[in-house]
Amino acid sequence: MKTTPTQFKSGYAAILGRPNVGKSTLLNRLVMQKIAAMSRKPQTTRNKILGVVHLPGGQIILIDTPGIHDSSIRLNRMMVEASLSTLKDVDLVLFMIDAERGFLPEDQDIAEALSRAEVPRLLIINKIDRVAKPKLLGLIAEGDGKGVFSDIVPISALKSDGLDRLQELVLSRLPEGPMYFPEGMVTDCPEEFLISEIVREKIMNLTHMEVPYSVAVVVDRVEESEKGTWVISVTVYTEKASQKRIIIGEKGAMLKKVGTQARKEIEKRFGTRVYLSLFVKVKTHWREDERSLKQFGYYHDSYQDR
């Protein structure tokens, strides 16, 4: 008997949710490469980050987004704008909560914003490795009660638990469509962006209090030497001289640690030898300044003061 070939499915799916629920961890797991910065601190992701999942029957184009939160800081409002702006051009929304923390009041606001989007919405309950069954069942019932979600999928992004089922479900909800990205292409992010995020992630993980939040990272130059080594210079901007001192550390120890960790990861990511120089500069109040936000790639034209 002749079987009709199943149609190729493809589309864009945005991962949305509060900070720190595990959105970037899921993106990295599904594309099987580390493209988005991850950390234990909230507000790690600042831009939309695209990752392509290539499957036999289709292509899922994931958009990782900054965590949605309330803030008076302009940078943070730009971040939230980046997240909400994805709603108008995706085929599917993956709304993620952290099983341990459950639904918080802010989630209700996000769920309402989502209910206005005219695309299917999946609820992902992440970090199920951290909770007992009864709590999970309670969350599933609570999610169901909201009446906004077409499916509810419990997963552990960290332990790669439930991800096959999630992929299948996402694919089943996507329309028939073309292969948007060629096989082997995992992201459309430029190399400079990926490098700057690797450096920023190391700073996020190695520093504390307000320091990780005061930092922007710009790749000034990537040149290939005759022997094929990538010679990279990066500027790390902070808001205050005191933060600059912390990033540099005693006799340069902190900057050295950041540099070594970042270099190793860049070498692994791009399969090349790397010579990395880091410079630290102060740019007062850059997080409030339109020109700096533009220079660092955080400005959104669609943003309006509300």
Q: Whose Cβ is closer to ligand GTP: residue 48's or residue 54's?
A: 48
Residue 43 sits in the site that holds ligand GTP (CB under 6 A): yes
To ligand GTP, the closest distance from the beta carbon of 236 in angstroms equals: 19
Binder to ligand GTP among 10, 47, 86, 126 (CB under 6 A)? 126
d(CA 99, CA 146) in angstroms, rounded, equals: 16
Phi/psi at 264 (5° precision): -60, -40
d(CA 153, CA 69) in angstroms, rounded, equals: 23
**Contact pattern for ligand GTP over residues 1 through 30, marking x by CB under 6 A:** ------------------xxxxxxx-----
d(CA 197, CA 185) in angstroms, rounded, equals: 19
Binder to ligand GTP among 13, 35, 38, 94 (CB under 6 A)? 38
Nearest to ligand GTP by Cβ — which residue? 67
Token pair 């709304």: residue:
95
Residue 207 sits in the site that holds ligand GTP (CB under 6 A): no
Binder to ligand GTP among 1, 2, 40, 116 (CB under 6 A)? 40
Q: CB count, 10 Å around CB of 56?
A: 7
d(CA 38, CA 42) in angstroms, rounded, equals: 9
- Quick check: 101 and 72 in contact, CB under 8 A? no
Q: Whose Cβ is closer to ligand GTP: residue 38's or residue 276's?
A: 38
Residue 75 sits in the site that holds ligand GTP (CB under 6 A): no
| Per-state percent for the chain, helix, strand, coil, to nearest 5 | 40, 25, 40
Report the half-sphere exposure of 266 (CA within 13 A, side-chain side). Answer: 31
Residue 235 sits in the site that holds ligand GTP (CB under 6 A): no
Stretch that binds Mg ion, among 21-29, 161-169, 196-204, 262-270 (CB under 5 A): 21-29
25 to 64, contacts with Mg ion by CB under 5 A? 44-45
Size of the site for ligand GTP (CB under 6 A): 23
Beta-carbon contacts of 198 under 8 Å, excluding residues fewer than 6 positions away, are: 37, 262, 265, 266, 269
Strand 151-154 versus strand 121-126 pairing type = parallel
- Quick check: 31 and 187 in contact, CB under 8 A? yes
To Mg ion, the closest distance from the beta carbon of 157 in angstroms equals: 11
Binder to Mg ion among 13, 17, 24, 84 (CB under 5 A)? 24
Stretch that binds Mg ion, among 19-27, 182-190, 194-202, 298-306 (CB under 5 A): 19-27
d(CA 227, CA 40) in angstroms, rounded, equals: 38
| Cα of 124 vs its chain's centroid, Å | 16
140 to 179, contacts with Mg ion by CB under 5 A? none
| Cα of 164 vs its chain's centroid, Å | 20
Binder to ligand GTP among 157, 198, 203, 211 (CB under 6 A)? 157
To Mg ion, the closest distance from the beta carbon of 203 in angstroms equals: 15
- Quick check: 170 and 12 in contact, CB under 8 A? no
Stretch that binds ligand GTP, among 42-50, 186-194, 247-255, 292-300 (CB under 6 A): 42-50
- Binding interface with ligand GTP (CB under 6 A): 19-25, 38-40, 42-45, 66-67, 126-127, 129-130, 156-158
- Binding interface with Mg ion (CB under 5 A): 23-24, 44-45
